[in-house]
Amino acid sequence: MRSTGAAARAVILAAAVCAVLCVRPALPPGGTGVPWDTVGLLAGLYLVCELPGRHPFFGSSVPISAGSFFPLLLAAAFLVPPAAAALVAIPGSLAGRVESAPVAARRIWRTAQLTITVWVASSVHGLLGGAATLGGPGPGLLPDFPYAVLPACVAALAFSLVLTALDGSILAVAERVPVRHAWRGLLPSSLGPHLVHGLAGLMMALLWRSSYGPPAALFVLLPMYISCWVFSQYHRQQAAHRATIRALVQAVDIKDTYTRGHSERVGRASVLIARELGMAEDRLEVLRFAGILHDVGKLGVPTRVLRKDGPLTPEERRVIELHPEYGHEIVRGIGFLGEARAAILHHHERLDGSGYPYGLSGREIPEFARVVAVADAFDAMTSTRSYRRGRPVPAAVEELKRCAGTQFDPQMVRALARGVERCGWAAETMAVTADEPVPLPGAGAGAGAGAGAGVARQVSRPRMPDGLDGADGFDGAAERPR
């Protein structure tokens, strides 16, 4: 929890306190009348469903979150009182797999979130008389159809509303997503699946309460596991996409060591801009890929040109100016990149039409390319290289504003400025993005001879930042295009 921000810790703690209050009525000494056999069996089933995700053998073939087993939680919400239903979510949530740090904070948050959500769903179901519609094992106790569907669907709607509300709150405080965007798209994308989960949970509850008993209800787990498998295949595909991106970026970093780490930071800055613009969530990942891969075309540029000492000849400059087209050809067949391909091709176009490779201007330049161009130049200015210190973030933002309308889209520049002001930026001012560390200006001659002539040779290289012209400005024509 120490690595979690104070605001996020406060939200997690508040959720945990609410979760305790939800389950407290079911606990001794006041928890009388709780059907512990049903609660124990449901909690055990949920735990069994979640545990395989932590085993290396099953980890790649089961879902990575509790979402695929929501029908079981909703069945609990329909079958037992709210406090008891909330207890069902706790063992599986605590034991389930957590993909990234901080593990403890994520585990506590997920447990509290699901406990509260199941309690709300069960309360709504009870207020609508849902328990009486499920029938029972005795004669004449048949389910009340079609009315039984109504409380189940309303409970599933409440489940979805509470879950997305909590998701948005943690995004706002932990991931620093703007409040106006934190909840965008969450409910529309989850409402349909949650309603389906509610109907599956209703089916399980009806079988559970029927004369066939809990064993019959377990058959509902089979289609649930099939849905889990489909879900896991999607995530496998996403992992393969990320591996492809990583391989390409590593190849670029090996070839042009002077900008190592630059690609990842451009991807991060591009997403920062996109969030401020209010782009849809499904476009953010593609835009991040565009930022990361914007310089993949360097793989087609001869290494001797990329690493050449001294000024480039006109012919060498023309060769480097081909790298957007090389990049586009490299990624042409990678279907999942979508709009990112256009950004890779056009990120060196300028708003006034003087860029390359096609001299597009204004709105002719694709939106992703205009975003990446700003992110590219911003990171180039704020990153320390072997030949000069990085600029302070405010100075870099001011320089982008000066060139807005000629080289850069003013809307993208304003979005970057807002994002940096709101979230800050960990400028790479202390790390040299090259193979060998070099003494920065002012380090003095006492750096020692160990730096050697090779370091002095690197410092003397007249290489300029990506997207910049002249002496870190934007107005020179003789600068090496990067």
Phi, psi of 386 (to 5 degrees): -70, -15
CA distances from 147 to 194, 202, 207, 274 (A): 19, 12, 17, 45
The residues pairing with 469 across neighbouring beta strands, listed in sequence order, are 473
Q: Spell out the SS3 assignment of the chain.
A: CCCCCHHHHHHHHHHHHHHHHHHHHHCCCCCCCCCHHHHHHHHHHHHHHHHHHHCCCCCCCCCCCHHHHHHHHHHHHHHCCHHHHHHHHHHHHHHCCCCCCCHHHHHHHHHHHHHHHHHHHHHHHHHCCCHHHHCCCCCCCCCCCCCCHHHHHHHHHHHHHHHHHHHHHHHHHHCCCCHHHHCCCHHHHHHHHHHHHHHHHHHHHHHHHCCCCHHHHHHHHHHHHHHHHHHHHHHHHHHHHHHHHHHHHHHHHHHCHHHCCHHHHHHHHHHHHHHHHCCCHHHHHHHHHHHHCCCHHHHHCCHHHHCCCCCCCHHHHHHHCCHHHHHHHHHCCCHHHCCHHHHHHHCCCCCCCCCCCCCCCHHHCCHHHHHHHHHHHHHHHHCCECCECCCCHHHHHHHHHHCECCCECHHHHHHHHHHHHHHCCCCCCCCCCCCCCCCCCCCCHHHCHHHHHHHHHHHCCCCCCCCCECCCECCCCCCCCC
Determine contact, residues 46/72, Cβ cutoff 8 Å: yes
pLDDT tens digits, 184-230: 778 888 888 889 889 889 988 988 888 888 888 777 777 766 766 77
Determine contact, residues 329/301, Cβ cutoff 8 Å: no
Q: Across residues 414-420, what is the average pLDDT?
A: 94
Q: Across residues 325-350, what is the average pLDDT?
A: 90
Residue 55: what pLDDT? Answer: 58
Nearest one of 345, 396, 352 to 375, comparing CA atoms: 396
pLDDT tens digits, 385-401: 666 788 899 999 999 99
Say how far apart CA 8 and CA 1 lie, in whole Å. Answer: 9
Say how far apart CA 96 and CA 192 lie, in whole Å. Answer: 24
Determine contact, residues 373/408, Cβ cutoff 8 Å: yes
Determine contact, residues 397/417, Cβ cutoff 8 Å: yes
Determine contact, residues 312/461, Cβ cutoff 8 Å: no
pLDDT tens digits, 76-135: 999 999 999 999 999 988 988 777 778 888 999 999 999 999 999 999 999 999 988 888
Residue 234: what pLDDT? Answer: 72
Determine contact, residues 85/166, Cβ cutoff 8 Å: no
What is the pLDDT confidence band of residue 371, given thresholds at 50, 70 and 90? very high
Say how far apart CA 329 and CA 440 lie, in whole Å. Answer: 38
62, with CB counted inside 10 A (0-12, 13-18, 19+), is buried
What is the pLDDT confidence band of residue 473, given thresholds at 50, 70 and 90? very low
Say how far apart CA 345 and CA 356 lie, in whole Å. Answer: 9
Determine contact, residues 122/77, Cβ cutoff 8 Å: yes
- Assess whether pLDDT exceeds 70 at residue 474: no
The dihedral of CA 322, 324, 327, 333: what is its sign?
A: negative
What is the pLDDT confidence band of residue 449, given thresholds at 50, 70 and 90? very low
pLDDT tens digits, 133-163: 888 776 667 788 888 999 999 999 999 999 9
pLDDT tens digits, 22-66: 999 998 887 677 889 999 999 998 888 887 766 554 445 444 444
Percent of the chain with pLDDT over 70: 81
Determine contact, residues 287/340, Cβ cutoff 8 Å: yes
pLDDT tens digits, 174-194: 877 887 778 877 888 888 888
Q: Across residues 365-369, what is the average pLDDT?
A: 95
What is the pLDDT confidence band of residue 457, given thresholds at 50, 70 and 90? very low
472/112: higher pLDDT: 112
